[in-house]
Structure 1
């Protein structure tokens, strides 16, 4: 089993479980991630994604990657699963301890949040192997950290330390290894405390193409205006304010 799935009512933890190869992403793991995505697409929950052992994910499985040819690249084996993770209905949180390189970094970039430990190292060394970062980094990384730094990572092989990644907001937080999973759950608690449908639609609107605005914003709001949860939460807010002012 290359992926351990731990389910709860409002969240699910995915553990990459190939510690003997630093959780390198192979076809079996990709298949397991597709299956896990299908489950949270059917029953939307927050996803916490972490790696077993001394690394988050030290890239794609190079032994498999070396044998892939043109048609394999055109199938987008890794890019499709990372895009699917990026599009999951509820927020996703990558928990990074140790290396997140190559495909491992691209998996982290696909998530909505990233929390690391002091030993986190994030980068894309693909050009050193004669290929490009073709599973999202070549365009997603600039959106996350800006063009100059993204080019330094992609074209010159710079690997960010945890403090550097935190300084450019690629990591939302840096915590000690013993607190990493708990930090992820604390963030998941904050997300889960909010209205689930409002959270889902906010994420969808956030990632909608620029030309779709403001129409998609208005449609999402129209849906939410008709929900009982909106009325219940607003009524509770007004009652709390009245009590404070009485």
Structure 2
């Protein structure tokens, strides 16, 4: 269900982008080619807060911590980028055998940071500026992995590690999807 919600959000965002482009008679070149990946990262970094911490034990067990307890471990823009970096790091970890994912505090993960979503949608100027960048990020990741939000589900599934989601407290939205990417919950 959450995957279909993200797919619907992506389609709605694409529709909104097309509407904005038509209203403003923007260049088809810009609409077709979009922004560079670095610009997308730069824009996502503006939604700061929280962190994704990874510790690798000598035993071959990795511990990935979703650390944003103030917002019930909601994913911020920087956390999305950090999660991709940590998963890439785990892909290259030769001594890795297993991975435990858990949330700091009393919540596993509450999905996306709604403050960032609100900031994007409240201000028309900010919406016009960020909607294309955010939608492009979602679309690139979706197309790249043929999966759901931010691509972490497929990326985690492909890891050559046994993964366990240590769910303590709530796991909703993207947090629930993250648990389904793990071998055990």
Do the two structures share a fold, i.e. TM-score over 0.5? yes
Number of residue-to-residue matches in the alignment: 114
Return the offset for 1:81.
Answer: 2.3
The C-alpha deviation readout for 1:97-152, integer Å capped at 9, x for no partner, is 111000010111111110xxxxxxxxxxxxxxxxxxxxxxxxxxxxxxxxxxxxxx
The question of whether the paired residues in 1 share the 8 Å contact of 2:66 and 2:103 is answered with yes
Among 173, 176, 183, the alignment partner of 1:105 is 176
Instruction: Quote the Cα distance in structure 2 between the aligned partners of 1:53 and 1:18.
Output: 9
The match for 2:52 is 3
The match for 1:30 is 80
RMSD after superposition = 1.9
Among 57, 61, 77, the alignment partner of 2:113 is 61
Instruction: Quote the Cα distance in structure 1 between the aligned partners of 2:102 and 2:157.
Output: 15
Instruction: Quote the Cα distance in structure 1 between the aligned partners of 2:91 and 2:139.
Output: 25
Instruction: Quote the Cα distance in structure 1 between the aligned partners of 2:167 and 2:178.
Output: 11
Return the offset for 1:72.
Answer: 4.3
The C-alpha deviation readout for 1:19-71, integer Å capped at 9, x for no partner, is 00000012211221122112221123311000001200011111223426343
Structure label with greater radius of gyration: 1
Alignment of 1:13-92 (within 5 A): 13-43=63-93, 44-66=96-118, 67=120, 69=131, 70-76=135-141, 78-92=149-163
The question of whether the paired residues in 1 share the 8 Å contact of 2:138 and 2:150 is answered with no
SS in 1 for 2:101: strand
* Structure 2: stretches of 5+ with no match in the other structure: 1-49, 121-129, 143-148
TM-score of the aligned structures, taking structure 1 as reference length? 0.43
* Structure 1: stretches of 5+ with no match in the other structure: 115-246
Instruction: Quote the Cα distance in structure 1 between the aligned partners of 2:72 and 2:112.
Output: 10
Instruction: Quote the Cα distance in structure 1 between the aligned partners of 2:153 and 2:80.
Output: 9
